[in-house]
Amino acid sequence: MRINTFFAFGTMLFLSSMAHAQINVGIESNSQYYVDDKYIKLDEQDRDDRFRSNNYIKLDYLKGKFEVGLQMEAYAPKAILNYSPDLKGFNVGTVYARYNDYENGIDFTIGHFYEQFGNGLVLRSWEDRALGINNAIFGSRFKIRLGNSTYLTALGGKQRIGMGFDLSDGVIYGVNADVDITDMIGIDKYLLKFGASFVGRYEDISEEYPTVQPTTDMLSARLEYAGDKFSISTEYAYKTDDPIVENLGTRVIYPEKTKPGSAVLVNLGYTDSGFAANVNLRRTENMTFFSERLLNGNVYNTGMVNYIPALTKQYDFALQNIFVYQAQPKYGYMNIHKLGEIGGQFDLFYDLNKGSFLGGEYGANLIVNGSYWAGLKTTEGTDGNLNADFFDFGDKYYRDIAVEYRRKWSDKFNSIFMYLNQYYNKRMVEETYGEIRSHVGVVEGTYFFNETNSLRLELQHQWADGDRKNWAGGTIEYMPNSKFSIFAHDIYNYGNDNPDMQLHYYSFGGSFTKGATRIAASYGRQRGGLICVGGVCRMVPEAAGFTLNITTNF
């Protein structure tokens, strides 16, 4: 079902007429006009819609303990390329009403809401416009605080899978408890917290698959400790039997291949004067969880109930993000045998002392990070299902190690030097072809003429033995003041084995910022591949054209 446009405008007028209340408005518009050049052209089916725009208006009304709001969305004439085709037209995206009595610890919401239990292994609903994700739950949520140490949450509803009131067939429900043990026993020398969660999905598909149980449940328990220097947190999650779903042109459920899932996550941290270290370890087995079974593995991330991000460093520079790892929690049987993944990452931060050889007069920072991810080593059981022992490492999926040196040379100049070494198993991660080894070097320098006037220059190079091979790139950015910025950027795929594809992916543009308003415009080419935010990715096509982004809040 859909809510109509007249309701949206009526709600806006109602909220704006309210007196003695706070009204917050947020507007975001992201538009692209695609052009054809000599080498990059739109697919034939897209050429009639060269202008595409994603637009959002969020309106929130707050008065005392009450809060209501809505988000209107317009994808006109169509959504930007490679967003879900379900995002189209103009309509209400989300709408909610909330009563929040913070003093007494009561919080009740009806309508659309976002929620996360623990690390998100069993539940995370959130919005990310850059990825086209909005998996809000439409239903009700109740939170209560018992004393100062215990927090309980109960929720239920259907998940948004298109525009606003396009909802999943499956029903999501769950409860969560968080207990601050140190507060309960009156200790303030360290932090100790415990949490537990239950999330269920009810989807009756017995008419087509009579042997598939309608319910699938997820349970998790977690513990967190943080002391003066050392911290550790861990979470274990378990999923009851869930049948395998394969994409064979269309998605097919195999009811005879059901298997439970599990995940273990451990985070370790240590800080001392001038030094910090973090280690994240995780093992997942058959841990994809969608509000509808047949949405499992869809390229738009529609209907994701839980959140399994890639635990790798999110790099800042373009050539470091050509080979980006995506988490591999899925059980796959027909194309390539997969059951999950095992691995981790580490980060080391060290402040180099002023006056030392590497620290110089103003001091410097040394950062080392790395990650390793592999599939689970699988064996086929007598029932035809794949199995894996807990610590059995299978095919290597991804590995990286990077060293970053940041130094301030004077009051006006600082720099970044960075080296990245990567291994990327494209055959296993993307199920296409190839194993790639690459080296990326980056040099960046920024010169400050004064506090608001600066010039930044970066140079990059990637050596790769596969895919499109070697790249070179650079960016120059000038900020004449705190409001304006202009830039020119280019990455050049000079090492491509196909001479006709040795392309420059150039862009140039600028931005204007005043208060809560920002306008950015650019023109150029877009490299096709994965774009990732927080370890979740979507594929973008090769494209050329003009881009305009506008955001404001008032």
Nearest Cα to Cα of residue 523 among 489, 491, 550: 489
Q: What is the dihedral of CA 308, 310, 313, 318, to 10 degrees?
A: -120
The pLDDT-based confidence of 371 (bands split at 50, 70, 90) is very high
CA distance readout (Å), 384 to 293, 411, 506? 20, 66, 50
The pLDDT-based confidence of 6 (bands split at 50, 70, 90) is very low
pLDDT, tens only, 389-431:
888 899 999 999 999 999 999 999 999 999 999 999 998 988 7
pLDDT, tens only, 379-397:
888 777 888 888 889 999 9
Q: Kindly write down the DSSP assignment for every residue of 275-317, as one continuous string.
A: EEEEEEEEEEES---BSSGGGTT-TT-TTB-S-----S---SS
Distance CA 335, CA 329 (A): 15
Pairing of strands 167-180, 123-124: unpaired
Task: Specify the higher pLDDT residue, 192 or 188.
Answer: 192
pLDDT at 2 exceeding the cut of 60: no
- Give me the mean pLDDT over the 470-497 stretch: 97
Q: Within its chain, how far is the Cα of 380 from the centroid?
A: 33
Distance CA 21, CA 9 (A): 19
CA distance readout (Å), 91 to 5, 157, 165, 371, 385? 6, 20, 9, 42, 44
CA distance readout (Å), 225 to 106, 123, 230, 270? 27, 22, 8, 12
- Give me the mean pLDDT over the 203-230 stretch: 94
Q: Within its chain, how far is the Cα of 321 from the centroid?
A: 14
Q: Which residues pair with 304 in a beta bridge?
A: 290
pLDDT, tens only, 513-531:
999 999 999 999 999 887 8
**What are the backbone dihedrals phi and psi of residue 168, each rounded to the nearest 5 degrees, phi first?**
-65, 155
The pLDDT-based confidence of 3 (bands split at 50, 70, 90) is very low
Distance CA 278, CA 267 (A): 7
* Predicted local confidence at residue 5, as pLDDT: 47
- Give me the mean pLDDT over the 367-374 stretch: 97
For the purposes of burial, counting CB atoms within 10 Å of the CB of 514, is it exposed (0-12), middle (13-18) or buried (19 or more)? exposed
Distance CA 423, CA 438 (A): 7
Q: Which helix (H) or strand (E) holds 14?
A: helix 5-16
Cis previous bond, 85, omega within 30: no
Nearest Cα to Cα of residue 470 among 437, 443, 442, 447: 437
Contact 71, 60 (CB under 8 A): no
- In the chain, the percentage of residues whose pLDDT exceeds 90 is 75
Copy the structure tokens of residue 196: 């537990």
Global pTM?
A: 0.92
CA distance readout (Å), 553 to 25, 444, 471, 514, 518? 6, 33, 39, 11, 10
Left if phi > 0, otherwise alpha if psi is -120 to 50, otherwise beta: which for 78?
A: beta
pLDDT at 11 exceeding the cut of 60: no
Copy the structure tokens of residue 459: 């140079």
- In the chain, the percentage of residues whose pLDDT exceeds 70 is 96
24 by DSSP, 3-state: which? strand
**What are the backbone dihedrals phi and psi of residue 137, each rounded to the nearest 5 degrees, phi first?**
-100, 130
| Cβ atoms within 10 Å, residue 452 | 12
| Cβ atoms within 10 Å, residue 12 | 16
pLDDT, tens only, 16-46:
555 568 999 999 999 999 999 988 998 888 8
- The count of C-alpha atoms lying within 13 angstroms of the C-alpha of 20, restricted to the half-sphere facing its C-beta, is 2
Tell me which amino acid residue 75 is.
Y
**Max intra-chain CA distance, the chain:** 74
Helix H, strand E, coil C: the string for 79-120 is CCCCCCCCCCEEEEEEEEEEEEECCCCEEEEEEEECCEECCC
pLDDT, tens only, 239-256:
999 988 887 667 888 888
| Cβ atoms within 10 Å, residue 250 | 7
* Predicted local confidence at residue 150, as pLDDT: 96
Copy the structure tokens of residue 101: 């009595």
Task: Specify the higher pLDDT residue, 533 or 481.
Answer: 481
CA distance readout (Å), 473 to 133, 221, 333, 422, 485? 30, 46, 40, 18, 20
Distance CA 473, CA 43 (A): 27
Nearest Cα to Cα of residue 341 among 421, 287, 400: 287
Copy the structure tokens of residue 294: 């047949």
Tell me which amino acid residue 477 is.
E
Nearest Cα to Cα of residue 245 among 237, 236, 257, 235: 257
Scan for tokens 């598909």, then name that residue.
Answer: 205
Q: Which residues pair with 107 in a beta bridge?
A: 100, 143
